[in-house]
A = this chain, B = another copy of it.
Amino acid sequence: MRYHKIPDETVRRLPIYLRGLMVSADQGCEHISSQSLADSVGVDAWQIRKDLSYFGDFGTPGVGYNIEKLARGIKKTLRLDAIRRAVLVGVGDLGSALLAYPGFRMYGLDIVAAFDADPKKIGKTVNGVEIEDAAKIGTLRQRDISLAIVAVPRAAAQSMVDELVAAGVKGVLNFAPCKLVVPKRIKVITLDIAMELARLPYYMPRVEQMSET
């Protein structure tokens, strides 16, 4: 293996592989070939091998990959071994669902704090996390939390992010349907759910619809 910059598209796929490895590990497997993993996650085998080749030699020719070792390697590459604590801002319908969502655990991620501006919500506990006053986001600085999830209405998103950045947050998963302006050192991934649904019709077969022409 030689030095390579890891392509963004590879980084996008790594969590998929991790998910597939967990499933195989649960089934008691110790090793897995790129082909088997490919079948279970829906990515081509050569793509998996190429992706993994960017950051380490994990496989054994003739045998495959040691699941435990490969999972550790991927986690390290994604820096999931060091960063594990996240804060949620905005405990509305979507925010509450995220607090209850068990899926983060698979990647070793935990939501350990939550903020909201609504006085009726402050002080309540949802899924073991107490909702704090959004005006106190500054207190995050002392709490070793560098990941934030933003689930507030569009109008509030930018100001919340400004405060999060001031409080030392380094990465943001944004559910508000808008662009967020942040310093270059901060990474924002925006996930606009309605937008994903909106691009689905483009790929659907062009049959005449009964409603409207």
In the assembled complex, the Cα of A19 lies from the Cα of B195 at a distance in Å of 9
User: Per-position contact with B for A1-43: 1 when CB-CB < 8 Å, else 0?
Assistant: 0000000000110111011000000000000000000001110
- Known contacts A179-B40, A179-B42, A189-B196; is A201 also within 8 Å of B83 by CB? yes
Q: Does A53 contact B (CB under 8 A)?
A: no
Interface stretch (choices A62-70, A96-104, A113-121, A133-141): A96-104
- Within 8 Å by CB of A93, from B16, B96, B104, lies B96
Q: Does A156 contact B (CB under 8 A)?
A: no
Q: Which residue of B has the minimal Cβ distance to A194?
A: B103
> Once the chains bind, are A171 and B193 in contact (CB under 8 Å)?
no
> Once the chains bind, are B189 and A191 in contact (CB under 8 Å)?
no
Count residues of A near B (Cβ-Cβ below 8 Å).
68
Q: Does A79 contact B (CB under 8 A)?
A: yes
Residue numbers in B under 8 Å from A147 (CB-CB): 197, 200-201, 204
Interface stretch (choices A44-52, A159-167, A205-213): A205-213
| Interchain residue pairs with CB less than 8 A apart (24) | A11-B203, A12-B199, A15-B192, A15-B195, A19-B177, A19-B178, A19-B192, A79-B206, A80-B201, A93-B96, A93-B97, A93-B100, A94-B94, A94-B101, A103-B192, A103-B193, A106-B177, A109-B197, A147-B201, A170-B204, A172-B200, A187-B200, A189-B199, A189-B200
* A residues neighboring B (CB under 8 Å): 11-12, 14-16, 18-19, 40-42, 77-86, 92-94, 96-98, 100-101, 103-104, 106-107, 109, 144, 146-147, 149, 170-173, 177-179, 185, 187, 189, 191-206, 209-213
